[in-house]
Structure formats: structure tokens, C-alpha cells
């Protein structure tokens, strides 16, 4: 089978074909997205997609029921999703729209109850970063790129929301 070429293409001495500009391929950028999830309660009873995705997270201060909250912005296709901080479910999760949700940050005493003393009371650790995950009511866990960093030994603010890249950068400064 002969290769496809135009009559104006010239064959060089080493057998390669020289093509004009009109015949060259154009590389077009493509976007790929990877989503991570884990079905903790066995095989999901419904399809895993569409997946909730958080693009932004912000500490919004005292919002829900007078408690400190985090607002997530992204794509939240269903209202069956709750926010978890590590192994702790947010006391309140409020779906504002298909693009925004808020969650009350679990208080520090809930953090102390959820983690054993050897983890929570290490003498050299003043802050503890817990992953913020989205969990569907049937147990499917969707990860986000955000963490909540608890101030476990200092008074004042309970903590702050960070992107995982910011957390890694700050730790490298010490």
C-alpha cells in the first residue's frame, strides 16, 4: 500500500517525504481530568458519575448556626453529599446550589474524640492538617485538593483551609 501524499511532495535522498505547510499536522491541546473515589461500603448501588468536584475552598468565618464554616465551590450534581474532615463528618453540610456548598468545621473537642492521644497530642506538633473529602450517602468518597489545618495547641482561630500544594510549600519552609 502506497503512502498518501500530494503530487507536490518531494522525496529526499534518504527516502523521507518533504511536505508543504498545508499538509503538516496541527497539534491541538487537550484537557484531561482525573477523579479519585473510593466505595467504602462495598459496590455502589448507583453510578459513581457524575462526580462532585471542588475547585475552590474558603474559610467563611461564622456562618452556619453561628459556627465557623468552609465554603466549597465547584460542581455538586446531587444533594446527597456531605463534607468530611479526615474521619469526622461535618456537623452541618448545606448545599447552596449545584455550584456551592458550605460545611460547619467540626469543633476541636470532636477532633480530640476522633483521634487517639498518640496522634493528637504529639509534643512537637501544633497543627494538624486533615483532608476535606466529599462523601455520598451510600459511602462513596470523593477526594478534594483541600485540607483543614487545625490549630491544636494555640488559642484563637480553630484553623484554616489550605490547598494541598500550599500545605506542602509551607512545610518545606521550616
DSSP for residue 107: P
Q: How far apart are CA 39 and CA 174, in angstroms?
A: 36
Residues with Cβ within 8 Å of 163's Cβ and at least 6 positions away in sequence, in order, are 57, 145, 146, 147
Cα four-point dihedral sign 147, 152, 156, 158: positive
**In this model, does residue 172 exceed pLDDT 50?**
no
* pLDDT of res. 174: 38
Tens-place pLDDT, residues 134-159: 998 888 899 999 999 888 766 567 88
Q: Are 52 and 75 in contact (CB under 8 A)?
A: yes
pLDDT of residue 173: 40
Q: State the pLDDT confidence band at 60, using cuts at 50, 70 and 90.
A: confident
Separation CA 148–CA 58 (nearest Å)? 10
pTM (2 decimals)? 0.71
Task: Report the pLDDT value the prediction gives residue 43, as an integer from 0 to 100.
Answer: 80
What is the CATH class of 37-172? mainly beta
Q: Give the per-residue pLDDT at 72.
A: 95
pLDDT on residue 2: 52
For the chain, the structural domain boundaries read 37-172
Amino acid at each position: 500500500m502506497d503512502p498518501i501524499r500530494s503530487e507536490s511532495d518531494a522525496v529526499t535522498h534518504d527516502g523521507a517525504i518533504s511536505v508543504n505547510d498545508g499538509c503538516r499536522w496541527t497539534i491541538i491541546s487537550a484537557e484531561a481530568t482525573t477523579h479519585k473515589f473510593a466505595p467504602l461500603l462495598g459496590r455502589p448501588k448507583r453510578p459513581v458519575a457524575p462526580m462532585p468536584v471542588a475547585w475552590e475552598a474558603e474559610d467563611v468565618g461564622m456562618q452556619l448556626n453561628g459556627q465557623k464554616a468552609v465554603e466549597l465551590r465547584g460542581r455538586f450534581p446531587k444533594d446527597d453529599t456531605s463534607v468530611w474532615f479526615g474521619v469526622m463528618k461535618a456537623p452541618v453540610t448545606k448545599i447552596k446550589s449545584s455550584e456551592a456548598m458550605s460545611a460547619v468545621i467540626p469543633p476541636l473537642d470532636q477532633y480530640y474524640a476522633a483521634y487517639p492521644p498518640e496522634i493528637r497530642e504529639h509534643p512537637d506538633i501544633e497543627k494538624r492538617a486533615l483532608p476535606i473529602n466529599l462523601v455520598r450517602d451510600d459511602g462513596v468518597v470523593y477526594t478534594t485538593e483541600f485540607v483543614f489545618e487545625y490549630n491544636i495547641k494555640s488559642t484563637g482561630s480553630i484553623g484554616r483551609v489550605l490547598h494541598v500544594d500550599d500545605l506542602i510549600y509551607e512545610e518545606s519552609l521550616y
